[in-house]
Chains A and B, each alone.
Chain A
Amino acid sequence: MSATLPLPATGYADANGRLCAERVRADFPILGREVHGRPLVYLDSAASSQQPRAVLDAVERYVTTTHANVHRGVHVLSQDATAAFEGARETVRRFINARSTREIIFTHGTTEAINLVAQAWGGAQLRSGDEVLITHLEHHANIVPWQMACARAGATLVAAPLTPNGELDVEAFAALLVPRTRLVALAHVSNALGTVLPVADLIALAHARGVPVLLDGAQAIAHQRVDVQQLDCDFYAFSGHKIYAPTGIGVLYGRESLLAAMPPWQGGGDMILSVAIERSTFNELPWKFEAGTPNISGAIGLGAALDYVDTLGRERVAAHEQMLLQIATARLREVPGLTLIGTARDKAGVISFTLAGIHPHDVGTILDREGIAIRTGHHCAMPVMTYYGLPATVRASFGCYSTAADIEALLAGLQRVREVFA
């Protein structure tokens, strides 16, 4: 059973092959709503993206026709549910070009995926005196699990510094790769600054020293083609809800040889082959790391979301978001008192900024009254904020349904902010 509905594969590109965002918007029911009597302008996709009809329909169809527990029953529903769930795993495999579905572990999100590696891999591999190398622009989800794993092992967490425009200082990173370094864990794209890290180079540097690399792909997966074989990363983590799927589902990709050598992390049903009171034998990959009943409908929604993105065309979506980034960067630079935070040469569709004399929280409240949803705060990346000496920034971020009109609405909203604080 296929987990996705057929889509009219037409109308998503204009005559020049560019993404037709108006057509895309029609697929997202929530974009039709109003907020405080204004049309919703959703510029917070980096926090969580919205879900298209294709995803909602796939989930509803599964729930209304197929749902049962997976990997258990002889009855039709259970077999079909298992086929749909494992079909979604194959969709994920294809989407990120993993070698095998044994390398695709469903989690409830990026955070759980990183914790899985920190506990299972870290628990087995980290020793007193070892180092784990991260960067100063990580999300807390790629900091705290390593702090905990290092504390348990007596290892040290080391963070490579940034340059003033929000890029990773690659020379400093290379210098911090030392014989004690046991693992590198990096954001593929920074959620606070939008910086795209030169991950291919960084992975090559780490591999030259025999150090495996985990990529936190939460902010990358929806916005550029991710091919784990081409990247040659050892682990890749991402969340469904940042790529138009429901919340509560995510993925850990792991190189099979590494996953096979890792002990399980949670025990329970599904992750075992047999259990006696004295001992159990663990299931094969990937189920060894999926204890308990999984988020079946979430996985099916994720499969549908990935198919949807491929229907739009990943390169097309990426080009669209780059165009919006350029427009927004140019337009925001015209706003008096506005400072862009994070001006890396290679950026994704994320723009952080501050307004002189106006706290981001106030900006957020006033924009909200205009129907504009943006994020304010430290973006769960407090070390980045500390680096810039800021408590918070305002962040606008784009998805496949974002338009130049959204940016103009943001500009008008910022004008309103400046009037209130005039």
Chain B
Amino acid sequence: MEIRDLYRDVILDHNRSPRNFGRLDPADAEAVGHNPLCGDSLSVTVRFEGDRLSELRFNGQGCAISVASASLMSEAVSGRPLGEVEALYREVHALLTEPAHVPGIPLGKLMALAGVREFPARVKCASLCWHTLHAALTRPAHPSAAPAVSTE
């Protein structure tokens, strides 16, 4: 495994210029995720249109892997039916953790994260945004009681 298998051009690009960075205000749902290992935290805000996730923004500080993963996620899920978002969540989880996982649905640019599973210490960095989104979708937002998730 070469270091560039982890830091692929797509990852470096999304780290340098994160897409959909910021907050949606008002949002239909939100959650905050923490990675206590590196002290990073990430917030995800989303809006719905019917049963679609119409828009997502993320905010926070993190390593290149966590920022790029969140940025890629924001592109991948925007405009998708919630059922597909859930399926993507499961596929990405498998991609990050299962050796030689063959995705059941096309993952497009998310495949750039395939190198992460060879770097076990970094899997949580890539999965934090997905766990945070999952938390936001399974509980709607009350500004004072946004669910908090942790990768630990």
Whether chain B is bound by chain A comes out as yes
A356-378 CB contact bits vs B (8 Å, 1 = yes)? 00111110011001000000111
A365 to B37, CA, bound (A): 14
Interface size class of A (residues with CB under 8 A): 10 to 19
A420 CB contacts on chain B under 8 angstroms: 3-4, 7, 12
State the CA gap A358–B39 with chains docked (Å).
Answer: 15
Min Cβ gap A409→B in Å is 16
- Count residues of chain B with CB under 8 A from any CB of chain A: 19
In the assembled complex, B73 has its CB within 8 A of some CB on chain A = no
Bound Cα distance from A359 to B7, whole angstroms: 13
- A contact face: mostly helix, strand, loop, or mixed: helix
Within 8 A of B (CB), among A324-363: 358-362
Q: Return the contact of A365 from the options B39, B61, B62, B119 (Cβ within 8 A).
A: B119
Beta-carbon contact of A391 and B37 below 8 Å: no
Per-position binary interface string of chain A over residues 159-195, scored 1 when its CB falls under 8 Å from any chain B CB and 0 otherwise: 0000000000000000000000000000000000000
Task: Tell me whether A414 is interfacial, beta carbon within 8 Å.
Answer: no
**Closest CB of chain A to B1's CB: distance in Å?**
8
Contact of A391 among B12, B61, B64, B121 (CB under 8 A): B61
A306-317 interface bits toward B, Cβ cutoff 8 Å, 1 = contact, 0 = none? 000000000000
Is A299 located at the chain interface by the 8 A CB criterion?
A: no
Q: Which residue of B lies closest to A376 (CB)?
A: B38
A360 CB contacts on chain B under 8 angstroms: 38, 63
A391 to B125, CA, bound (A): 14
Q: Please give, as numbers and ranges, the residues of chain A lying within 8 Å of B121 by CB-CB distance.
A: 365
Q: How far is the CA of A206 from the CA of B80 in the complex (A)?
A: 64
Which 8 interchain pairs have the tightest Cβ spacing? A359-B63, A361-B63, A391-B39, A378-B39, A361-B38, A369-B3, A362-B64, A362-B63
B interface residues (Cβ-Cβ under 8 A, vs A): 2-4, 6-7, 12, 37-40, 61-65, 119, 121-122, 125
19 contacts between A and B (CB under 8 A): A359-B38, A359-B63, A360-B38, A360-B63, A361-B40, A361-B63, A361-B122, A365-B6, A365-B119, A366-B3, A378-B38, A378-B39, A382-B39, A385-B39, A391-B40, A391-B61, A392-B40, A416-B3, A421-B64
